[in-house]
Every structure is written in structure tokens, then in C-alpha cells.
Amino acid sequence: MTVQTKQKKEVKEVKAKEAKKPKASFPKNFKKPSRWFSPQMAAWAVLLFCFSLFCILAYLLASSLISYFSHSVQPQKASLTAREGLEVSVRHANQERFLLIPLNQTEQLNQGDVVRTAQGSRAIIMRFDGTNLELSSDSEVKIEEHQVRITNFVQKEKRLVFQVVRGVIKVSLDTLQVRDYSKGLVKLVTPDNAEIFFNDPIKGNYPGGTYTVDLEGKGTTRSLITSLASNPRPIDVRAGGQLQSLQPGQRITIERGGPPLLQTGERELINNGAFIDGLDYWIERHNQGGDGGSLNGRVLPDSEVVDDGTITRAHILRYDANGNSEESLLRQELKVDVSEYASLMFRFKGRIRLQSLAGGGWYANEYPLFVRIEYKDRNNQTQVLFRGFYFKAKDSSTQTYDGRSNELLRSEQWKENNWQEFQIDLANELRQKPVYITSIEVGAAGHDFESYFTEVSLLAKN
């Protein structure tokens, strides 16, 4: 038998054995499974998923870039000017020591800077939007925020946040101009975390105006916030977990981290200011002035008939001076603590009938009618407010205090023999706010003079 024949025989035997094995059977209703998706459809699905994922990622990336570039913060600069005294200083954010600022010199300020005034010094901070902070003697302020935030490329929000560490700060700001900013925040923070919202973007309240913030005991004892009566709308003060609205002409007191308390009420501090009871409560005084002349001035209570009735008044006069000076006046001792009051409105009416010396006389204090108020400021320093009144203009040998920079020493020209009124808010129109008023004097000085005055009033309001 050949090899090929043998191999064929072995193949036949294997096939015979395979044929004898039992074959697998399937149910009669069995159907072979079919494919759900064709390979082409599966490929398109994968491609569509990848494209969708790409679009989502591209959108997120584009949105992030737009948000990043359309929302930006632009730090702004302010300027500090030393207005009075020799100890106005600033500590810049990247420095450890304070730098003295020469009088009437200007220093650029940035966010994080601290400004300080020593006793007897005064300074003003001018913000980029026109907001002014006037620092009185012995005051300190830190600039927390001083920037403009831009949203969606065009919406501009100014943010001015400053902390008052101690002293008296006068804040003056204008109403927000929509053409310049979409909204704004101007806020003051005290050491005990009280917040004064001069501009509130949440409420959309941008009143502008002038406000005084007075921190006693470096802000750990009491904070006093005052709104001038001329301000247009109220602002909000938050302290001790409570919010209080401060209306124009009102004052809020915060005691050591407590809630803001609105002060109310008023009090007349001068007695018999219209001289209805003669010269009761008033002391008559005369000062010859040291030039060797005689004391012949007089102060008399009398009355005057006017269109709507009769007014009582004080009549002060001096004749036959013979070229020497005298000061004649009425004085009322007050000796009253006025630190609690938001407004101290002093007013009186006067009429000048005779004046021999022009202007303020030879020594610039010889006026035919004057007012002198002696008080103590928050530093316990004695201050004297003087206002002289005259109708006869100055000549080559006399002078006046008109237009002088010294706010305590000034004069006004009135019309001859006409009743006129003078008034001043001592609590809000003076840099050194009175905390204790000692006395008030109304009188006349010079050679020959004759004047009248009445309705002398000092109305204190909370």
C-alpha cells in the first residue's frame, strides 16, 4: 500500500467518527441575531459625539475668555494735600514708615495707603471721582478700596471704601452721574465694624452731600455720624447687626459696637436772647483798650416799633470818644457741653446806626458791632470765633478781616442803619467742632459807635 492510499484511508476514518457525533439542535422558532447598527451608522454616531464635545469645550473656553477680559479692575489714584500744620503724613502700602508731607504740597495715594494728621494739622484727600475727605486735627484714615470695576466691557462701578481709625472726617461727594458710572459704592468703616453707606449700589441710592464722622476714643468709645440739613436724601448706617436710616439734618450715635441710635430733640442754650427781661442773664462789660481814654460807652435795654409790632433789643452806644478806643459788650456765660449735638446754629439780628472808624478800625478789631464766641475743641484747646460787622468801608488807615483764610476771624459789610441777620452752624461749618462752649459776647468797639442787636440764639439739635 502506498503512502497516499494510507493517508486517504485515515482521512475517511476521521470523517466517519465525526459523522457519528451528535449534532447541536436549535428550537424551531430560533432566529439568528441581527446587528443593531451598521458599521457606517456607528462611525457617524462617534463622529457626531466628538463634534458635539468639541463645540461644548469651545463654547466654555470662549465664555471664560470673554468673562476674563470683560471683567477687570482698574486701581485709581487719589491726592493728599497738607492744608494746615506741619505733621501731615502718609504710609504707602509697600512702606513701613510714615512720610511727612510739606504744607500745601500734594502726594499721590493708592489703595492700601494710610493718612495721618497730628494735633494742630489738617489735610484733604481728593478722590478720582471728586469725593473729598477732610481730616481734622489728630485723625487717621486708611484707603481700603479705590478702584473702578468694569463688567461686560461697558458697565463701570466705582468702589471707594475707607476706614477711619480715629478723629473727625468730613466727607463731601457728588450725586452719581449715570453717564460716568453704572453704579458706585462709597462706604466708611469704623474700628468697631460700623458701616456708613454714602452710596449704596444694592438700593441704588446715590444722594451726594456732606457728612461728618466723629470717632471718640479712637472709635472704641463712641462714633457720631451727622448729615447736613442741606443733603438731598438719607443714607444708611449699619452697626451691631441693625440698619438705621440717617435723614438730612439728623445725627446717629454708636456706642462701642452697639446699634445705631438716632438722636432727636433741640435745646436753646442762650437765655433772654431777645432782651424781653431787660439785661437778665447778661453781664455788661467795658474795656478801655489801654490808650488812656475814658469809659463812656453804654449798653441799654430798650424797644423799637416796627411794622408788625414792637421788638425789644439791646442798644449799645458811645459818643465824644475824643480819638480813643473802647470796647462795650454784653456777655453770657454758657459753660455747656455740646459734644452730643449734631447742629449748633448761632444767629442774631443787628443794626448799625453810627460808625466813626472805617472798616475794622486801626487794629482790625474795632467794629461797631461784633460777635465773639469762646469754646473748646475736641483736643481741649480754647478757640475764639470772631465776626465783625460794619457799613463804612475801610480807608487807607483801617482794615477788615473780609476774605481772610482764617475761618475764626472774619468780618462782613452790612447796609447802614438796616436790620440784618447773621447765622452760622458751629458744629458743621467749622473745622474744629466745639465740644464745650464757654461764653458768647455781643458788642461794639472803636471810637464813636451806635448799634442795636436782638434775637441772639444758639439752638442745639441732636
pLDDT for 120-139, tens place per residue? 788 999 988 888 999 988 89
pLDDT in tens, 97-116: 999 999 888 999 999 999 99
Give residue 330's pLDDT: 97
Residue 214 banded pLDDT, cuts 50, 70, 90: confident
365 contacts 403 by C-beta, under 8 angstroms: no
- Cβ-contact 257, 267 below 8 angstroms: no
Q: Is 64 helix (H, G, I), strand (E, B) or coil?
A: helix
Reported as a single tens digit per residue, the pLDDT across 310-345 is: 899 999 999 988 888 899 999 999 988 888 788 899
Range(s) within the chain of domains with CATH label 2.60.120.1440: 72-263
Q: What average pLDDT does the segment 65-70 reach?
A: 54
Domain boundaries for CATH 2.60.120.260 within the chain: 268-461
Local structure of 187: helix, strand or coil:
strand
Task: Tell me which fold the domain 72-263 belongs to.
Answer: Jelly Rolls (2.60.120)
Instruction: Name the pLDDT band for 291 (thresholds 50, 70, 90).
Output: low
CATH number of 268-461: 2.60.120.260
Answer for the pair 375, 344: CB distance below 8 angstroms, yes or no.
no
Does the global pTM surpass 0.75?
no
> Is the distance from CB of 371 to CB of 443 less than 8 angstroms?
no
% of the chain residues with pLDDT over 90: 45
What pLDDT, on a 0 to 100 scale, did the predictor assign at position 91? 96
Alpha-carbon distance of 386 to 373, in angstroms, equals 7
Distance CA 350, CA 187 (A): 43
- 302 Cβ partners below 8 Å, 6+ apart? 312, 313, 315
Q: Which helix (H) or strand (E) holds 240?
A: none
Strands 72-75 and 139-151: antiparallel
Question: In angstroms, rounded to a whole number, what is the distance separating the alpha carbons of residues 384 and 410?
Answer: 12
Q: How far apart are CA 324 and CA 445, in angstroms?
A: 11
Grid coordinates given for 212: 461728618
pLDDT digits (tens, 9 = 90+) for 157-188: 888 999 999 888 999 998 887 667 778 889 99
- Give Dmax over CA atoms of the chain in angstroms: 178
Is residue 427 within 8 Å of residue 287, measured between CB atoms?
Answer: no
User: Residue 263 in contact with residue 226, Cβ under 8 Å?
Assistant: no
Give the C-alpha distances (Å, rounded to integers) separating 361 from 289, 395, 396, 407, 448. Answer: 13, 9, 11, 20, 11
CB 357 within 8 A of CB 366: yes
Q: How far apart are CA 328 and CA 320, in angstroms?
A: 15
Taking the C-alpha atoms of residue 346 and residue 434, their distance in angstroms, rounded to an integer, is: 12
Greatest mean pLDDT range, 114-123, 355-364, 414-423: 414-423
- The Cβ-side half-sphere exposure at 238, using a 13 Å CA radius, reads 9
**Residue 21 pLDDT > 60:** no
